[in-house]
Chains A and B, each alone.
Chain A
Amino acid sequence: MQSSVGVCSSSSSNWLFRFSAAAASLLPSSLTFPISKSSSSSSLITLSTPSLIPSPLRSTASASDSSHVTVMASNDAQDPRLPRISSAIRVIPDFPKPGIMFQDITTLLLDTKAFKDTIDLFVERYRDQNISVVAGVEARGFIFGPPIALAIGAKFVPMRKPNKLPGEVISEEYSLEYGTDKMEMHVGAVQAGDRALVIDDLIATGGTLCAAIKLLERVGAEVVECACVIELPELKGREKLTGKPLFVLVKGA
């Protein structure tokens, strides 16, 4: 199977993206609508080999390994819902800039079964974990977080860009490729002792999730896990989560 390597044209970025020309994403016909570039649609999505959900959540860290890795109950069988979720995600080349293969979850939201399955996979994992807070990162975390929060009986807390939240906030700065941005959370939304999840559609470098973790910990919450639909493992965002576990459904290669 032919593969080629694309390199982000920005000189300060060393991201590498491999894609397989033959692994065309198999969207159902109702989802095959035009993308902005005319390249043959190549899917970056490979399927993760996720587990059955252990109960309770277990995580181990090896003493010599600075990155905290969640070890799940061993199960090589893939959840049968994952292939459809994976193929429902559309990849858009060169967005927002040349060299970036953007993982577009809007097509997942158009597939009612795949979207429901996505939520169900998270709900099944967390419903018995006594989670009291689901924190979702603006804006795509707002799409996945609330349905999960509602199903597991937790509060939903939006983590927003500056100057959006109307009340008193606490802020956390985080790095971008060029410069910094800030994330905010309402004072009083989360209490000390709350058990929290952080939800976003995708983890890339991990900077955003790290900022969210810090905000929650500053008010005394316990961040139990970060959960994303998609991980881009080559960007090593998992290592930026200050030791918190990460759960994802699919990985972009």
Chain B
Amino acid sequence: MFAEENGLKGDPRLQAISQAVRVVPNFPKQGIMFQDITTLLLDHKAFKDTVDIFVDRYRDMHISVVAGVEARGFLFGPSIALGIGAKFVPLRKPRKLPGEVISEKYSLEYGNDCLELHVGAVQPGERAIVIDDLVATGGTLSAAIRLLERSGAEVVECACVIGVPDVKGHCRLIGKPLYVLVEPRQVDKCSRCEVDSSFG
């Protein structure tokens, strides 16, 4: 569900967050309009508002685990975890985590990738949320959910800054509620880009 449909209709913070994201055409390949959140991180107020919106949503939901997907999930997850008093658990690409791990494969457009979680980081019965910057097909989030459930946790929700509008489809795909702040933009109305042309 979008934040705007869920209590934040007309919230001016959402428009500023949307405009702080930079669209980079044809990255990593032709036809993809890449949603670049690094410009959001340069806008202190918009970045803080992003974290605050998630913290406000989850602080009273008895969440004990915030799982963040490498690497851009690491940019948002820890601040949210600190804000709600939860543990932060990194979900990483293979062979990055040094201890004993469990792994979950997932499909890419071409081939597969794999996500790992440390054994013992999450206890049975814990309530968890999964954080990433953006949800597209939901493949990564699905793998994240499976890892947490294999550890006995209950995944309460997945949360992303950016997500495509067809959220009902994605809810079915990943099987869990999905909370998203803004839609991807097609053309670059990035607020920072208007200020500094070298950044476009």
Contact = CB atoms under 8 A, between A and B. Distances in A.
Contacts, number: 127
B120 A34 contact: yes
Contacts of B44: 149-150, 153-155
Contacts of A142: 71-72, 74-75
B161 to A, nearest CB: 13
Nearest to B70: A139
Interface in B22-45: 22, 24, 27-28, 34, 36, 38, 41-44
Interface stretch (B6-14, B91-99, B136-144, B169-177): B91-99
Q: What DSSP secondary structure best describes chain B's contact surface?
A: mixed
Interface stretch (B80-88, B105-113, B179-187): B80-88
Nearest to A185: B38
Contact of B41 (A35, A110, A144, A158): A158
B89 interface: yes
B99 A92 contact: yes
Contact of A33 (B76, B86, B118): B118
Contact of A167 (B36, B78, B99): B36
B53 interface: no
A150 to B, nearest CB: 6
B24 A166 contact: yes
Given A138-B71, A147-B82, A166 B198 contact: no
B198 A188 contact: yes
Contacts of A119: 82
B48 A150 contact: yes
Contact of B78 (A33, A146, A160): A146
Interface of B: 22, 24, 27-28, 34, 36, 38, 41-44, 47-48, 51, 70-72, 74-76, 78-79, 81-82, 85-90, 92, 95-100, 118-121, 123, 196, 198-199
